[in-house]
Amino acid sequence: MKPLLTLLLLPLLTFLSHYPPPAVATTTIIDVLSSRAQFSSLITILQHTRMVPLLNSVKTATFLALTNKALANISEPVSRDVMLYHLLNVELTAEDLYNGQVLETAYVRPGYLGDFGHVGQRTKVKKIDWKIGRPEKIIIGGSQITERDLQADNAIIQVIDQLLTPPDDIVKTVASLPALSIFSHLLDLSGLDDLLSQPRPFTVFAPENALSRFNLIEETYLRSEAGRADLHIVIKFHIHEGVLFSEDVPGGKSSLSTLQGEPLEILVEDNSILVSSTPVKTRDIIASNGAIHTLPALLLPAALQWTVRKYLIGLNSTRFVAYLDDVGLGYYLDDTTDGTSFTILAPPDEVFDEEELPAKGSKELEKWMRYHVMPGKWEVARLRDGMLLETELIGEELKGARQRLKVDIEEVKEGKKIRFNQAGLVGEPVAINNNIIYTISQVLPPPPPLIERLVMDLRLSTFITFLHRSGLYSQIHGAQGITLFVPTNVAFTQFDLVTRYLLHPQSKSDLQSVIRYHVADSILYSDDIPTGTSNLPTLDGSEIILNKTAQGHILVSPSSPNKDAVANVTHRDILVSTGTVQIINRVVIPPTLRLTNKDFLRVIHAQTFLDILELANLSHTLLPPADPNTRYTILVPSDRAFSRFNLTKLLNDPVALERVARLHVIPAAVERGEPNGDDDNDNDDDLNAAARFPSLLRDGAEYATLLSASDRVIIRETYLGGGFVIQVAGRWFQDNSQAHVIGVGRSAGGGGVIEIDEVLIPRDIQHGWPGWAVALVTVPVVSAVGVGGWYGWTNWRRWRAGYAELA
């Protein structure tokens, strides 16, 4: 019971400790108040709160008295604590009061302003000049003095117009001030409101624009759960443990401790107070457990350091951060001390789909995450269209090289439209320290395995077929650190009989040689190829020749000189997990593969014609000639063509057989036609040869045959285009006078084979109707059909127009 009584008497004992023993007063505060009827309500309250003995016993004091009018609207009982809040422990006349003065009252709340010394609750004076020649308005704690300096022997009485309310704690006081609404929200968000509500003294330097020193990214981070620790650092830097009113700040320079740990530098000069170079805007806002001083802006502690991690969280890429941490790559997000910098491609949270991602903690997920980080600071000004940026994805699949990422830049009306692989740029890039962050529209998977990437492109389906047929699928698919030159489907059609030869079961080794010749055992990106000519070893053991022109075009050719075999890289740097793919528009034949005419005959089912050549002693035309200047182009009717021909008669006539055989042999290499398309690269002849496919044959070309110089054949393009016929010169409108070209294959050394659909007959051998007979029958028939057609068409038009025959 005694401790409880002591606790109850403590506020009173504390206040009385400031006063000497009571003395007898002639006129006390109570006497003055009792002498006026306007204070009757106040006297009643003082009696109920047992304040009368105290007011009679004080030696010096200032009492803030309320008239009946001021108390008229008070419905709740007034407590003793409130009355103590109206009692000051010093005598103060109106002249003694000044603007901004902080007054200590007799109301003591244990611990709120400390346990020793001046611990009474405070109120504040405000003096306002309102009319010239009239006394200033004096406001104490929000209540105006209406009658000044009523004198008692032991005190001065100042009459005020409304009841004073003891102040709330710091948290509630901050919340009540509109200018501090953001700071109030941050206090609540940080959880420090609980601390500042405790019965302990604090001094708070509260910024009015609490977030003005932060950009939107930093603000978002500080408001997030992940930013709580830094938010604590910022707010605690504004809090001093202990109460400090402006009058207590020493002049000149001083320092003030904070809850955060870093001291505040205080400078008092010319009646202004600067806190860490920021002027105090409003001083001494009274709270029950301390003082609040407002600042125009936030103070930034040195301990608050911005990193890539914090910026990513502020950019709504928290899941990206979590995945990086999950695979042990969080160090990319925190500042390093060695001066390294990174470019981060950050997908926002909403684009992540866990079902499409590798398992958490897996090596595959680590590859995905590394692919979003690039060494160096790649600002927009340094990026250019088509460039390949190195990433932090390094592995055995690339023989220790860094995987690349492609930049695509499109100039649009609004500026530059930037894409990284298939991911677009969202918003503007953000620089942080020595790093840069690009927010992208989707998660970037690393480049896929080689075959998986090739099958996605329908233009390359023929190469996939060749790869399967070669038996090299597994070898090429598993090859590490390679460059693959892949011909398009159209490129294979241009090789015609060569393509058919390579797909023949007996040509598997040659097919493997061709496939390997398109694979370089190193990674070569287009930017890495030097201007001019360079040699590149292949898996076939031979080298291919690369020629990068001054205009930047890349040409690929075999090491044997053959301008017809020059290929153009049409689509560059297709990234795969094991290297890169360069798409070319020609098949490049290795110099070790020397196809003969006989090789072609084997694959076009021309055994009958092969037998005829042997019977005519012309088998040597199928083999590589001893003289490099000797070339043979063989016109080869298929076995199906001979099925429509009187072969028995031919075999029984050795002379005719030899003449027919010789008519099908051209002792020369046939010419190619003009390339299709317009020549728009006049200054780059090599590119012209590679970029446009020449026709397989030249329209109008005429060649002597092995039969005689006068027995000639003419090559003509069909009227509909896209095809050719071989015409026996001088033999018109007769059976076996012309044949359609089915396929063309060029052999090593310049000769080749032209597959045709009919057997050709020399001029002096009769087979079928003579030309005059064909003409005699054809002309009347065609004329009759034409006349009949015209007559029928005329009558049909008359009928449609509504004509009718008159009777």
Residue 320 shares a structural domain with residue 424: yes
Domain count, the chain: 5
Give me the CATH number covering residue 556.
Answer: 2.30.180.10
Q: Could you tell me which of 166, 233, 246 has the C-alpha nearest to residue 203?
A: 246
Q: Using CA atoms, how far apart are residues 636 and 759, in angstroms rounded to an integer?
A: 8
- 697 versus 50: the higher-pLDDT residue is 50
Among 438, 445, 462, 437, residue whose Cα is nearest residue 403? 445
Say whether both 27 and 83 belong to one domain. Answer: yes
Residue 789 counted as domain residue:
no
Q: pLDDT digit string (tens) for 518-538? A: 999 999 999 999 999 999 999
Among the listed residues 759, 494, 520, the one whose alpha carbon sits nearest the alpha carbon of residue 640 = 759
Instruction: For residues 609-631, give the mean pLDDT.
Output: 88
Say yes or no: 467 and 575 in one domain: yes
Which run of H or E residues covers position 475?
helix 473-478
777 lies in some domain: no
9 and 147 both lie in a single domain: yes
Q: Which residue has the tokens 């400390």?
A: 114
Residues 383 and 518 in one domain: no
Task: Look at residue 177 in the predicted model and tell me its pLDDT.
Answer: 96
Per-residue pLDDT tens over the stretch 340-362: 899 999 999 999 998 899 999 99
Name the domain boundary from 554, 584, 614.
584
The answer to whether residues 514 and 610 belong to one domain is no
Closest to 493 (Cα-Cα) out of 469, 474, 465? 465
Q: Please give the order of strands across the beta sheet that includes 282-287.
A: 239-241, 202-207, 290-295, 282-287
- Residue 4 pLDDT: 44
Given 160, 182, 214, the domain boundary residue is: 160
131 and 22 share one domain: yes
Taking the C-alpha atoms of residue 651 and residue 649, their distance in angstroms, rounded to an integer, is 6
Range of the domain at 72: 2-160
Residue 23 pLDDT grade (very low, low, confident, very high; cuts 50, 70, 90): very low
* Tens of pLDDT, residues 419-450: 999 899 999 999 999 999 999 999 999 999 99
Q: Is 356 exposed, middle or buried (0-12, 13-18, 19+ CB in 10 A)?
A: exposed
Residue 165 domain flag: no
Do residue 601 and residue 577 come from a single domain? no
pLDDT tens by residue, 633-665 = 999 998 889 888 888 898 999 999 999 999 999
How far, in Å, CA of 327 to CA of 368, rounded?
10
155 and 221 belong to one structural domain: no
pTM of the predicted model as reported, rounded to 2 decimal places: 0.79
Q: Which amino acid is at 103?
A: L
Say yes or no: 642 and 739 in one domain: yes
Residue 675's pLDDT band, with cuts at 50, 70 and 90, is low
Please compute the mean of the pLDDT values over residues 190-194 and round it to a whole number: 95
Strand partners, 402: 394
Choosing from 534, 559, 584, the residue where a domain stops is 584
Q: Per-residue b/e over 588-606, b at no fewer than 16 CB within 10 Å?
A: bbbbebebbbbbbbbbbeb
Choose the most confident range, by mean pLDDT, from 92-96, 684-688, 774-778. Answer: 92-96
With tokens 């000049």, the residue in question is 129
Kindly state whether residue 479 falls inside one of the protein's structural domains. yes
Strand partners, 568: 555
Going by C-alpha positions, the residue among 435, 469, 474, 433 that lies closest to residue 451 is 474
pLDDT (mean) for 118-139: 87
Average pLDDT over residues 154-177: 96
- Considering the domain architecture, whether residues 624 and 751 belong to the same structural domain is answered as yes
> pLDDT above 70 covers what percent of the chain?
87
Q: How much is the pLDDT for 676?
A: 55
Confidence of residue 560 (pLDDT cuts 50, 70, 90): confident
Section 221-239 average pLDDT: 97
Q: Is residue 543 part of a domain?
A: yes
pLDDT on residue 5: 44
Does residue 263 carry a pLDDT above 80?
yes
476 within domain boundaries: yes
Q: 793 in a domain, yes or no?
A: no
Task: Give yes or no: residues 12 and 151 share one domain.
Answer: yes
Q: How do residues 504-521 score in pLDDT, each as one tens digit?
A: 999 999 999 999 999 999
| pLDDT per position as a tens digit, 297-340 | 999 999 999 999 999 999 999 999 999 999 999 999 997 667 88
Using one digit for the tens of pLDDT, what is the confidence trace for 97-112?
Answer: 999 999 999 999 999 9
Neighbours of 25 (CB within 10 A): 17
The reply to whether 798 falls in a domain is no
Q: How confident is the model at residue 472 (pLDDT cuts 50, 70, 90)?
A: very high
Give the pLDDT mean for 202-227.
96
